[in-house]
Structures are given as C-alpha cells and as structure tokens.
Homo-oligomer: A and B are copies of this chain.
C-alpha cells in the first residue's frame, strides 16, 4: 500500500536525518503544527518532522536523504507567508532556517551583503545602521531574507527600490539532486548565461532550498520625510500617484489606505486620521531634494483636491506613522467582531487601471455586504484586500469566495497579475493558467527537469 510505503520511507528519512541532527530534528506535534500553518484561509497540514538546520551542508544532507526516500522537503523561514507556502499537504520534512542567522559579509564599498537564509530583514538593518546602510525591502512581517527571496517579497519601498527580484544579486541553494549551487556573482550585472538567481527568486522552495542570499544595499538617505494626506475619492488618490510616477518624482513610499482601513488604524494605533481615502508618503534624498520632491508632489496633490498635509520629519514620528501602516492588518483583525476567519489577498494591475480596479472592488464588496478594507502600494499598482468572514456562516463564506475569484480575474483582465507580492503557494494555483496560459507548461517543464521526483515543496505554485 502506498500509504504504508510512504509512512515507512518517511520513518526511514527521519531516522537518517536524526543521526546527524540529533535533537535539532523535532517530531513534536506542537512544533510540527506551528510549522504547517500560516495566516492563510485554508487549514494547514503539519510536516512529519522539523529540522532546525545550522548550515548549507546540513540542508544538502537532508535533501539527499529525502531524495533517496522520496520524502517531501519544505523550506521554512519565519512562517509569515500568506498563501499556504509552508503547509505540508503530503507530509515530509520542514527545514527551518532560523538558526542560519549569520551575516556573512557586508561590503560597504560595493553596497552589497551576504547573509544566511534565516537572517531577518530587521536583524540585517540593525546590523547595517552603524555603517549608514540599509536594506529597503519590507514586507509587513519581519520575514527571513531567505524566505523573502523564495517568495519574491516586496513591500512599501518597492516603488523606489524594487522588490527582491531587483535586490537579490546571488544565491546559494541546494537543488533537488542535493547539489549546492551558487548563482550570480558580486558583479552588478552579467550576461553570462541563464539567470538562475531570478529563476530561484519567487520559486517558493519548489526548485531548491535557498541557504544564502547576496543582497544589494543602499546608503541611508540624508533626509527621509514621511507624510499623510487625504483625498475626496480613491480615484483622486490614484491619479495623484500616477502623476507622481510619471513626473519622475522618486517617491520612496506611496501607500493608499481606504476609509475602512483608516478607521481600523485609528482605533488600533490611537491616531486621529481623517476618515477618507488617504496616501501615506515618504520622500528620500538630500535635504534640498527631498524638499523639492515634496513641493512637486504638493502641487500635483492640490490639483486633485487634497486635504491638509501632516508631515513627520523626526525619526520617531516617522517610525510611528509607518508602524501604524504596517499594523494595518492587525488593526483590521482587531475591529472585526465575530469574524474569526481573516485573510489578506493581493493583486497588482498597471497603475492606469488602479483606480478603476479598486473602485470596482469596493463596489463588489458593498453589493455583497462584505467587510474588506483595502490598502495599496499604489505606486506599483499593487493592493491588498483584507477579507473577513464568520466560518459558521456558510452564506458569507460563499460570498467571500465568489468575491475573491472575481477580484483576481478582474486584475488579470486588466493585464495585471493574480498576486503582486503574496505569492502562489497553494492558494493561487488555480489562477495560474488564466494568468500564464501556455507559460504554465514551461514552468512545469522546468519543475520536472529540476525536481523530477517532486520532493521540493510539492503542491505549491503548480498542480502537477
């Protein structure tokens, strides 16, 4: 029987891994369950064991053992992904990289660094601060840089600094056959063959397990000024973002927060923001240039009926403002009484279509009596809807599911994508064909070629 065979082979895998990991291999149910469930809508599935690895060679050994017994292997950073990336629907070994938290090199002259996969973005930034450097990519959570690379993460700074796609220079990864591959170099550019770095970035552990990441760094700007302003409509706020980008103002952050979200933020973060479509902004540069950007922005905003501006120049005010923005997800959770099932989804469209997409989405929410605050990285055309429902209310669950499907097809129909930054995981597999068409077959060919046994995070990105 296959099930019995699988149990036996998994038992064998666990025994062999335990030989060299000892008690760093856990089979406790609490640990397994914690590693098999994220913030997703769907129920998680625990792996059979969790390996707390300390270096690339340990990962290699585990992959070779898993390959021998055809045991699934799932990479785990901080477990903060949102589309079921880390669940173990076919069991297997989860490789937890949190102990791989060494910063291996910081090259200030070249503005680059190399870190182990388990280093978190905040830990890296604390380490860099004294050297006047920072790493800008900031998904909501304090995610690990290996996980951020694996999921092609981005965040509020992407409009200015790009996503992990643009900011990972090189990787070390253990491939499905157990080979350790180092992609890329420290050169800023290369035309030497296939871009394996970019292939692994966003592959969600389905092609290999990332164990080290080479990253671009940036000098901390002389001036960083944050601000908030509100608009009479979502459309006005979106048009301001379009004009800002088109004029080449290198805005560092431009975040759209809708009325519902403002209410939640006010309650959660003890703020008194006006309840209206709002832009959270940040400008980086020399002092003079940041001022110039602000003036240019103000002129654009005034053409679209902006309300009063509030600026935060002091570091602590700026941090408070952005903490409120980053807490938005938790804020909405806190004010939705009786709605235990909460999940955030995201889509991304060309910014010329953003106002239309957000407005249609709000209308869809209203006409289905759903509560779904919207927050957007508006400079990128990327926005999130936080969806709530009472799992006991089957009708509501059905309305949420219908809304979710329409949202994604609306974005794809506007030449956008089913996810700007949350990834595919297991949650968005069903939309891949609508988005990629024949490209999906190419992805499958690559997956089959690099992981013929389908042991690398099976059941994610592609339904094989």
Contact = CB atoms under 8 A, between A and B. Distances in A.
A290 to B, nearest CB: 10
A348 B189 contact: yes
A328 to B, nearest CB: 19
A80 B188 CA distance: 23
Q: Which of A186, A421, A442 has the most CB of B within 10 A?
A: A442
A248 B218 contact: yes
A193 B158 contact: no
Interface in A405-421: 411-412, 415-421
Contacts of A442: 175, 179, 181, 194, 196, 450
A182 to B, nearest CB: 6
Interface in A206-265: 207, 218-219, 221, 242, 245-248
Interface stretch (A8-16, A64-72, A104-112, A365-373): A104-112
Contact of A190 (B351, B420, B447): B420
Interface centre among A107, A111, A192, A349 (most CB of B within 10 A): A192
Interface residues of A, number: 92
A196 B444 CA distance: 11
B439 A446 contact: no
Interface stretch (A22-30, A39-47, A119-127, A148-156): A148-156
A448 B452 CA distance: 13
B165 A198 contact: yes
A436 interface: yes
Contacts of A349: 186-187
Given A195-B198, A198-B199, A350-B107, A185 B435 contact: yes
Contacts of A437: 181-182
Interface in A287-311: 288-289, 292, 296
A112 B219 contact: no
A419 B349 CA distance: 35
B461 A194 contact: yes
A239 to B, nearest CB: 9
B248 A191 contact: no
A420 B442 CA distance: 27
B246 A109 contact: yes
A145 to B, nearest CB: 16
A194 B151 contact: no
Contact of A109 (B153, B221, B296, B352): B352
A272 to B, nearest CB: 33
Contacts of A428: 192
A350 B296 CA distance: 36
A270 interface: no
Contacts of A180: 438
A382 interface: yes
Contacts of A113: none
A201 to B, nearest CB: 7
Given A248-B219, A435-B192, A109 B351 contact: yes
Interface string A156-198: 0010001101100000000100011111011111111111101
A436 B187 CA distance: 13
A360 interface: no
Interface in A390-433: 411-412, 415-424, 428, 431-432
Closest 6 CB pairs of A and B: A449-B449, A198-B198, A190-B417, A109-B352, A187-B348, A186-B415
Given A152-B195, A182-B437, A288-B292, 5 more contacts: A165-B189, A186-B415, A188-B382, A190-B420, A191-B421
25 contacts: A151-B191, A162-B166, A179-B438, A181-B439, A182-B438, A182-B439, A185-B417, A187-B349, A188-B348, A188-B381, A189-B417, A189-B420, A190-B417, A191-B419, A191-B421, A192-B417, A192-B418, A192-B423, A193-B461, A194-B461, A198-B198, A218-B248, A288-B289, A288-B292, A289-B292
Interface of A: 107-112, 151-154, 158, 162-163, 165-166, 175, 179-183, 185-196, 198-199, 201-203, 207, 218-219, 221, 242, 245-248, 286, 288-289, 292, 296, 348-352, 380-382, 411-412, 415-424, 428, 431-432, 435-443, 445-450, 461-462
